[in-house]
Amino acid sequence: MANQNKYVTISGVSFINIEKSQFLNSILIPRIKNEEKTFIVTANPEIVDRTIHDHEYKEAVLRSDFTVADGVGILVAAKMNKMNIKERIAGYDLLVDLLEFGNEERLKVYLLGAEESVNKKASDHVKVNFPNVEVVGRHHGFFDMNDDRIAKEINETKPDIIFVALGVPRQENWIHNNIDQFNKGVFMGVGGSFDVLAGTVKRAPDMWIKLNLEWLYRMMKQPERFGRNLKILKFMIRQLPIFKRK
């Protein structure tokens, strides 16, 4: 029988094995209430694959407090090695859940990343749909990684949650390099989620998500991601038990 460990390790990355609602209610919400600084990585195969060749990035990912499985590929990789991950936790879904909680508790949120126009639209979307969330600041994602003014400015706004949409590897690297300056805050890399909030990119219809086919929908809608998809395929092949050394 597949095991039910609290953590499942895939290529050196340790995933918390938990349902989304439990992760939110029994871990994240108490940590936000206690103002405990928290770094979350929502990792898909592309992220795990990157940690194999990119040492700086691996350090950033391993530094996180929690890595959750954001991608059917991670669940499949676990299964292929006789492990079981309870549920996929999509970064976008977690972002929306956190905004809902933020709306109930009047939390302060900072939006870092994406193109300026996307960032602005995402911020407007949050203000309209989660009116009690205080968007304490926002900044586009095309800045110099060594420019520490951004982190200083964010810190001054004392946000409870900092969503970082800089893509892989910049978002996790930025969090890793800057989190020490903060006394509190949930930091989460959210990839292309601002594009979805802004309405410039559509998520797959619910049925595709339920059938675990969001990746296929994305592949069809964004053929320019072909190179990235090929890397994911190679990663999946390497997860086959025959390629694992004991």
* Binding segment toward ligand UDP, per CB under 6 A, in 60-68, 120-128, 161-169, 206-214: 161-169
Question: Per CB under 6 A, does 166 bind ligand UDP?
Answer: yes
The closest residue (CB) to ligand UDP is 141
71 CB burial (10 A radius; 0-12, 13-18, 19+): buried
Nearest to 232 by CA among 70, 117, 124: 70
Tell me the backbone φ, ψ of residue 83, rounded to 5 degrees.
-120, 160
DSSP per residue over 125-186, as a string? HHHHHSTTSEEEEEE-S-S-TT-THHHHHHHHT--SEEEEE--TTHHHHHHHHHGGG-SS-E
Q: Total residues at the site for ligand UDP (CB under 6 A)?
A: 15
Q: How near is the Cβ of 46 to ligand UDP at its closest, in Å?
A: 7
β-bridge partners, 134: 108
How far is residue 161 from each of residues 40, 62, 97, 188, 220, measured CA to CA in Å?
Answer: 11, 20, 12, 8, 33
Return the residue of 102, 141, 159, 185 that touches ligand UDP, per CB under 6 A: 141
Q: Which is nearer to ligand UDP, 92 or 130 (CB)?
A: 92
Return the residue of 168, 175, 179, 232 that touches ligand UDP, per CB under 6 A: 168
Interaction residues for ligand UDP, span 47-76 (CB under 6 A): none
Question: Per CB under 6 A, does 194 bind ligand UDP?
Answer: yes
Q: Which is nearer to ligand UDP, 20 or 31 (CB)?
A: 20
For CA atoms 123, 127, 132, 136, the dihedral sign is positive
Question: Per CB under 6 A, does 113 bind ligand UDP?
Answer: yes
Angle of the 214-221 helix axis to the 72-80 helix axis, nearest 10: 130
* Binding segment toward ligand UDP, per CB under 6 A, in 22-30, 55-63, 165-173, 236-244: 165-173
Q: How near is the Cβ of 67 to ligand UDP at its closest, in Å?
A: 15
Q: Which is nearer to ligand UDP, 118 or 154 (CB)?
A: 118
Q: Which residues bind ligand UDP (CB under 6 A)?
A: 113-115, 118, 141-142, 165-168, 170, 191-192, 194-195
